[in-house]
């Protein structure tokens, strides 16, 4: 029966190859991955040249409204930012274009100035791969996030400047 389903699903091209964010285990600090984050709107894109990744930065409604009205110093409580990272590769039909390859991880920042006062007002989390393996052994992992994000402390700990999308 299972084999029949597998063959049928392949034939119909409907095999559920995408993981379900709702099934992602919580991060060690208790933060969960919003199940609809793939539907959030665009805040920006980036490339990390030292590790060859392309990224898209998405925001929930609260974050998008804040970005579009310039209210990001600080970002409001309830704003959430998701950064999706892929290994980059050359486009097979456009030699000078670089595009997403393998999916690597999704990072999440959740703003709650009181709840996350110890980490800049933000809750941090990361899930690795499409099995959504939470990053970090215990809640102290967020100190690693902060160590890097400290460079953006004067931008409320956020590296992303919302890209102009006229």
Q: Which residues bind a second copy (CB under 8 A)?
A: 13-14, 18-19, 21, 38-42, 44-50, 54-56, 58, 68-70, 84, 86, 88, 91, 93-94, 96-100, 102-103, 106, 130, 132, 151-152, 155, 159-161, 163-166
In the complex with a second copy, which residue's Cβ is closer, 143 or 161? 161
The distance of closest approach from Cβ of residue 132 to a second copy in the complex, given in angstroms and rounded to an integer, is 7
146: left (phi over 0), alpha (psi -120 to 50) or beta: alpha
Task: DSSP letter for 139, please.
Answer: T
Residue 60: partners with Cβ closer than 8 Å, 6 or more residues away: 34, 37, 40, 78, 79, 80
- For the bound state, the minimum distance from the C-beta of residue 115 to a second copy, rounded and expressed in Å, comes to 25
Residue appearing with tokens 């999440």: 108
Smallest separation (angstroms) from a second copy to the CB of 111: 19
Nearest to 149 by CA among 109, 115, 112, 116: 109
Q: Which is nearer to a second copy, 92 or 138 (CB)?
A: 92
At its nearest, how many Å lie between a second copy and the CB of residue 142? 19
Q: How many CB atoms lie within 10 A of CB 101?
A: 14
CB of 51 to a second copy, least distance (A): 8
Instruction: Answer yes or no: are the C-beta atoms of 79 and 111 closer than 8 Å.
Output: yes
Reference 57, options 71, 41, 75; nearest CA is: 41
- Helical (H) or strand (E) element with 165: none
CB nearer to a second copy: give 62 or 139.
Answer: 62
Nearer Cβ to a second copy (32/46): 46
- Cβ closest to a second copy, residue 35 vs residue 115: 35
């Amino acid at each position: 029966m299972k084999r029949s389903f597998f063959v049928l699903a392949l034939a119909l091209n409907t095999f559920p190859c995408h993981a379900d964010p709702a099934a992602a285990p919580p991060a060690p600090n208790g933060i969960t991955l919003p199940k609809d984050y793939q539907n959030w709107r665009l805040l920006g894109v980036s490339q990390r040249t030292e590790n060859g990744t392309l990224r898209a930065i998405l925001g929930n409604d609260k974050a998008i409204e804040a970005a579009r009205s310039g209210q990001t110093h600080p970002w409001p409580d309830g704003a959430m930012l998701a950064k999706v990272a892929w290994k980059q590769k050359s486009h097979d039909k456009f030699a000078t274009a670089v595009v997403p390859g393998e999916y690597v991880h999704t990072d999440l920042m959740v703003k709650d100035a009181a709840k996350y006062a110890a980490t800049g007002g933000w809750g941090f989390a990361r899930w690795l791969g499409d099995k959504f393996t939470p990053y970090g052994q215990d809640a102290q992992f967020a100190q690693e996030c902060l160590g890097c994000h400290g460079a953006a402390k004067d931008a409320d700990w956020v590296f992303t400047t919302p890209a102009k999308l006229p």
